[in-house]
Amino acid sequence: MKYAVIDEHRSEFPVKTLCRVLDVSRSLYYAFKKAPASPRSQEDQALRAAIAKVHAEHRWAPGAVKMWRLLNAQGIACGKHRVARLRKLDGIKTTRTKRFRVMQAKERVQPPAPDLVKRAFQVDAPNKIWVGDITAMRTKEGWIHLAVVLDLFARRVVGWSMDTTQAATLPIAALSMALAQRQPLPGLIFHSDQGTVYGSSSYRELLQRHGALASMSRKGNCHDNAVAESFFSNLKNEVMHDRLFSTRDEARAVVNDYIEMYYNRLR
């Protein structure tokens, strides 16, 4: 529909210009905007929110069929073709295979590290065990990824980074920030899931240069990294709930305020 094209590009071009190019009356377009949304349109909006939630909760973006199965498992009835159409409308792409191949081509991925933490999340001093994880946030400009490092002693965020891609450089930047701020002694344990970026040679080498030991959760067991998962759960409930950021810069600013002004100070 031409009206949908105008909605999609009105932030880039004046409505007057878009209407002229598409041979649409401005008055009819604005009348369309004021009209109440149809039941089908309302269902699409709810399904788009559910799709975005599934995408954000899965490190490697699932394809349309897998996402459809995940939604149905949550009791959300929908068709595969409808999911594919709405994913495309929001610019959600399947990136798991592509990202894995890029990582293989550029650097060696090391075998998973053993679980040195074993859910013993209570520690008696800072800089003994750090945990890390990555999540995704949706904006009108597209997705942005957030990597964090938390110290288990006070559950503080000691390092974080945001970027449009989920390459190894993202968690490396977060870890580098934590190392620069805390300057831990050798023997620090850094715990994460078995994500490819955490197994990259460059990430492991950074840990080794600072005398830190890599630790990883068992495959597919989110409870082994419960503290990091809990942080992202709080972030999503308190900041991201039903919220679509206009720009990636807005998302960065909100995350900065949440971490530096609230989570690390007032929590």
The pTM assigned to this predicted structure is: 0.60
pLDDT of residue 62: 65
Distance from the first to the final alpha carbon of the chain: 48
Q: Is 131 helix (H, G, I), strand (E, B) or coil?
A: strand
Q: Are the beta carbons of 146 and 157 closer than 8 angstroms?
A: no
Residue 157's pLDDT is what? 97
Q: Give the pLDDT of residue 163.
A: 95
Distant-in-sequence, close-in-space partners of 105: CB < 8 Å, separation ≥ 6: none
Q: What is the pLDDT of residue 123?
A: 94
Which tokens go with 25?
Answer: 């009356």
Token pair 């394809």 is at which residue? 63
Under a CB-based contact definition with an 8 Å cutoff, are residues 130 and 152 in contact?
Answer: yes
Alpha carbon distance 45, 42 (integer Å) = 5
Residues of the chain with pLDDT under 70: 1-4, 32, 35-37, 57-62, 93-107, 267
Predicted confidence at residue 26, as pLDDT, reads 81
pLDDT at 99: 38
